[in-house]
Amino acid sequence: MIEADPGASDSVTTVLGTAGVSVQCFTSADSFFDLYVPGTATCLISAAQLPGGDVLDVQKKLAHMKSRLPVIILTRRGDIPLAVAAMKNGAIDFIEKPFDAERLLRSVKIGLYRGTNDRREAARVDLIKLQVASLTPRELEVFLLLLAGEGNKPMARSLGVSIRTLEVHRAHLMAKMEARSLADLVRVGMLAGIWRP
């Protein structure tokens, strides 16, 4: 949590602590980013206005770090336009102070769920990229031709190999990518960033 007001930090910590959610508090964005490692936190609560900046600056820095950390904003009445801009930048909720404990807890649960799923997805993408890197040049050619919708005969002709040789490359490709079907390969290709529909 990034919040310069100790009263607001204490209130949030109490509400979330009662629900079994641990909270680490920072009084500025700089102190948060001094310790933040992408993938270690699953949700961020931030005041809209911060010492030396605002939540939009925090979102910009997170985006620069390629972090998809879910952000919940605590606002005062005058912060609504800023909170709306932050929502357009991907924040999951903004909650006016004094905040409703149930709404805060509900938003944090959504943020924790998204954060956990995003970390799993990032780990899956990293694994897929390693799998793609393990392909031989020929297996990668077969992969790209399959993604382009080529059938076995045209692929074999294009690569100058027999159907049997192509089938061996394709079987190795499927095994390395842990794919059971062409649909699995398409999903993997999209996640790896090597194919777009």
DSSP 8-state assignment for residue 51: T
Biggest CA–CA distance in the chain, Å, is 73
Tell me what pLDDT residue 58 has: 95
Where is 172: in which H helix or E strand?
helix 163-176
CATH numbers and ranges of domains, the chain? 6-122 (3.40.50.2300), 134-192 (1.10.10.10)
Tell me what pLDDT residue 84 has: 85
Say how far apart CA 29 and CA 47 lie, in whole Å: 10
Tell me what pLDDT residue 105 has: 92
Please, what sign has the CA dihedral across residues 5, 10, 16, 21? positive
Tell me what pLDDT residue 175 has: 92
Q: What is the mean pLDDT of each run of 10 residues along the chain (197 residues)?
A: 93 92 94 87 90 93 90 86 87 89 91 79 84 92 90 91 93 91 86 75
- What is the DSSP annotation of 130-173? HHHHTS-HHHHHHHHHHHTT--HHHHHHHHT--HHHHHHHHHHH
Tell me what pLDDT residue 66 has: 84
Say how far apart CA 149 and CA 52 lie, in whole Å: 53
Q: How many other CB atoms sit within 10 Å of the CB of residue 197?
A: 6
DSSP β-ladder status, 93-96 and 71-75: parallel
Q: Which three-class secondary structure state does DSSP give residue 45?
A: strand
